[in-house]
Structure 1
């Protein structure tokens, strides 16, 4: 029912019965329902398949814009007492007419062809809410015997959500539908759209046989359907024995397919695979297994908590001749664009690695290359969507020893992916947090995570900040993986009127540093917003050079990218916000020093532990 009909707009506000109100809605509904097909008071007869159906113009017009235009829009039908509806199926129209009078329709006991006819009438007469409701019911009724008819109907009426549901169902039952009788009833356009999907996964020779059967009962105009069969995915033996004998493929096309099969890189062929959105397919339940790497039983068990120095991870030796890395074989070729994996992180070590994928373990394609970056803990990796059967993770560096340790591995297809630049995430929210596995690896604080815990209110003279002695050391933050950053924000300790000078550098490997901002000649207070040209970043080093009050540099909060939307002039790389702000801190009238010095506070970096045997 069209929501634009001036008489059909219903307030979304629930009716409120006040004291003294009288409400007899059930009686009204019952009495209106009694007018269905009742010749009493009828002023129009609808002729459907030569059967006369008595109706009432005002009710039809109030319920449907189509009938309002037909009966009161100045057309010739406006003056007729009998109107022929030539294209309406009788059974479906009577069901719709009863819905017009009662607002109720029960479809579960009806035959599927009647339901589809009713859907068509709902679309024709502008009952949009009913159209969506019938679509929802059809989703529940999907089966091999009816999915093709429902798909064609959904495409005809532009019901995109129902089309998507049908495609997903057909993807899951590709092999069964290819040999089902209903497959032969698909329209050419619907079949072309289906076969063009990478997720319609079945052996290509079976797809070819199904298309051959379809061509026997349907006309393949301009060979549009046959062109959707991916001949290079078939073996040369199948091309010569099955395809050639069918006589439906031109000899030149057959020779081209054989040439592509034998000469092209396997990774460049138009593979098909299953598509499971937001579902981890690297698990034993999906048939996946680890086929290379030591201690393979731990990687796919889903346990990312119970691991220590001796167990709970899969490993391989770095740079050992003949070592292939860690290889996962998925249960079936699958469409993925996202990997989530956990590097062993019980200390502050870092790893470097790369990830490759393959279909047949012969032609490997590198989709992630973090061999030049220091990474730790959870890794969130995104790459171009592709069909994958094998995944290989190869460690290239470990800051502690020569072994690469992987605790957990997951892969899937994500419909929504973050912005990327050269295969590195460009974050739109703060990634320097404990939740994102960032750590402070150098600096002094009473609480290990004070700098990254997001608390910008609860700090005072004794706690809530991280510091270092001027002229010695720095505050060093490590992100879990490289991110492309172009801004950061920090809060300098500001419980009095002191000012600081400092500079900030960034690195991807901790030995090569690039200046982010040099404020060594500036007097800086409170919030600092720094913007700079985009670059990959793993490490951020903040070095204080001056404090007007003492010999310690104090920083309360750090984030990257900056979460504050600041209008910064193009010529200015640093925006300093004012220090006046609401804070639950009582500032003493006298000028006190922070009681904590860099030598008195707790060191963030723990004493090194001998983990070389890990």
Structure 2
């Protein structure tokens, strides 16, 4: 007889594996009054259960049902708070069968289910539910999901939510879910350099949150606004009338803005890890250089002087250069570029970045080195809008 029936798991010869039958038989006991010896009450709904099954599956219930407390008495009824009947029914099914269906459930039920998995100590269930939540993120639910993920310290779900919010910052700020964030989650989000929304929008959304959460400490919330990034008109006509910030705070912001270098301001920028953002896909364009339309999308194996890359010559006067304008202010810490290597010449160069095309910060200085071929360059992360390369041949 074949051991490869499609509904039967494969087992080695001499081994019997009927776990699926066991799961079906134990699962048939769910919510059955027969043999039950404990009842849970959730929002007036009754869930008969079996102590020995729950104790075998969960240390929490083992302590609750066999720990000598009043819940351990025969035929005990236990009322559970802070969860929904739908979520508890899902948990009961999981404890009896090892299975749970998430696809057709509302986000609120899924978050209650995640809360139960965390409370009762089912780490594998917690991970699987978190992974599913990562796949259904949208503007309407991401704040609610992040709040729970932050509360239970679920790193993967937190990171995925943050990346989603970073890429949709303005829509998140205007969503109803933003108003329901806890103060801790709210500050975690808006303090991120990669939460790349205009500072006026950040301020106005925080103002809405403060009005919706009148009992919170508003000064701590408003401290997250980067006032020096706002224009004088915005500070006087938007911030000042709100009365949420003191006149001294506004004057201090004006002073910082007027006395600081532009590149020293604490800008926000889009963060897109492990992707080349200097491409037309992300709205970048070549401002200075030859073959502007190529924009680093050329043939990296068969390049020559006529095709392959946007480029520029490195000349003695250092006036020529290649300048790329990114599609939006972005956080970068890595640049990869190619110096002509079809002959034996070497080159020196430097890389600068800017937000306004006026104030430039040099992040790479190879002006005193002999360089050739591919350059993989790393530097401290900075927010910028413009990137340019210039240089001259080193003296021999």
Q: TM-score, normalised by structure 2?
A: 0.92
How far apart, CA to CA, are the structure 2 residues paired with 1:22 and 1:158?
40
The answer as to 2:262 corresponding to 1:266 is yes
The answer as to 2:278 corresponding to 1:288 is no
- SS at the partner of 1:346? coil
C-alpha deviation, 1:36, in angstroms: 0.6
C-alpha deviation, 1:181, in angstroms: 1.3
* Of 115, 123, 129, the match for 2:124: 129
User: Any idea what the Cα deviations from partners look like across 1:536-570, whole Å, max 9, x if unmatched?
Assistant: xxxxxxxxxxxxxxxxxxxxxxxxxxxxxxxxxxx
The residue aligned with 2:371 is: 375
The residue aligned with 2:22 is: 28
The residue aligned with 2:185 is: 190
- SS at the partner of 1:69? helix
How far apart, CA to CA, are the structure 1 residues paired with 2:255 and 2:106?
50
After superposition, residues 161-310 of structure 1 pair within 5 angstroms as 161-219=156-214, 220-221=216-217, 223-309=219-305
C-alpha deviation, 1:317, in angstroms: 5.1
- SS at the partner of 1:144? coil
How far apart, CA to CA, are the structure 1 residues paired with 2:294 and 2:20?
63
After superposition, residues 519-538 of structure 1 pair within 5 angstroms as none
The residue aligned with 1:518 is: none
* Of 66, 69, 74, the match for 2:63: 69
The answer as to 2:365 corresponding to 1:365 is no
> Aligned pair count?
385
32-41 or 219-228: bigger deviation = 219-228
> Is this contact kept in 2: 1:44–1:56, CA < 8 A?
yes
* Of 392, 408, 417, the match for 2:388: 392
- SS at the partner of 1:225? helix
The residue aligned with 2:33 is: 39
- SS at the partner of 2:86? helix
C-alpha deviation, 1:346, in angstroms: 0.2
Q: Closer, same or farther in 2 for the Cα pair 1:374/1:176, shift >3 Å? A: same
C-alpha deviation, 1:305, in angstroms: 2.7
C-alpha deviation, 1:55, in angstroms: 0.8
- SS at the partner of 1:228? coil
> Is this contact kept in 2: 1:236–1:261, CA < 8 A?
no
The residue aligned with 1:55 is: 49
Q: Closer, same or farther in 2 for the Cα pair 1:50/1:296, shift >3 Å? A: closer
- SS at the partner of 2:30? coil
User: Any idea what the Cα deviations from partners look like across 1:232-256, whole Å, max 9, x if unmatched?
Assistant: 1111111111111222111000011
How far apart, CA to CA, are the structure 1 residues paired with 2:282 and 2:315?
29
Q: Which runs of 5+ in 2 are unaligned?
A: 1-8
User: Any idea what the Cα deviations from partners look like across 1:323-375, whole Å, max 9, x if unmatched?
Assistant: 25221111111101001101111011100011111110111101111011000
- SS at the partner of 1:397? coil
C-alpha deviation, 1:108, in angstroms: 1.2
C-alpha deviation, 1:106, in angstroms: 0.8
The residue aligned with 1:157 is: 152
How far apart, CA to CA, are the structure 2 residues paired with 1:295 and 1:101?
66
- SS at the partner of 1:277? coil
Which has the greater radius of gyration? Answer: 1
C-alpha deviation, 1:281, in angstroms: 0.4
The residue aligned with 1:343 is: 339
Q: Closer, same or farther in 2 for the Cα pair 1:202/1:348, shift >3 Å? A: same
How far apart, CA to CA, are the structure 2 residues paired with 1:34 and 1:298?
65
360-369 or 290-299: bigger deviation = 290-299
User: Any idea what the Cα deviations from partners look like across 1:76-95, whole Å, max 9, x if unmatched?
Assistant: 32224213233142221122
> Is this contact kept in 2: 1:304–1:342, CA < 8 A?
no
The residue aligned with 1:354 is: 350
User: Any idea what the Cα deviations from partners look like across 1:472-516, whole Å, max 9, x if unmatched?
Assistant: xxxxxxxxxxxxxxxxxxxxxxxxxxxxxxxxxxxxxxx7xxxxx
The residue aligned with 2:133 is: 138
- Once superposed, what is the RMSD of the aligned Cα atoms? 1.9
- SS at the partner of 2:139? coil
- SS at the partner of 1:385? strand
- SS at the partner of 2:287? strand
How far apart, CA to CA, are the structure 1 residues paired with 2:292 and 2:286?
6
Q: Closer, same or farther in 2 for the Cα pair 1:89/1:311, shift >3 Å? A: closer
> Is this contact kept in 2: 1:63–1:100, CA < 8 A?
yes
C-alpha deviation, 1:44, in angstroms: 1.6
Q: Closer, same or farther in 2 for the Cα pair 1:50/1:284, shift >3 Å? A: closer
How far apart, CA to CA, are the structure 2 residues paired with 1:271 and 1:155?
25
The residue aligned with 2:92 is: 97
C-alpha deviation, 1:22, in angstroms: 5.1
C-alpha deviation, 1:23, in angstroms: 4.8
How far apart, CA to CA, are the structure 2 residues paired with 1:199 and 1:53?
46
How far apart, CA to CA, are the structure 1 residues paired with 2:297 and 2:16?
64
C-alpha deviation, 1:229, in angstroms: 0.9
User: Any idea what the Cα deviations from partners look like across 1:143-171, whole Å, max 9, x if unmatched?
Assistant: 11111111111111111111111111111
How far apart, CA to CA, are the structure 2 residues paired with 1:26 and 1:115?
25
The residue aligned with 1:318 is: 315
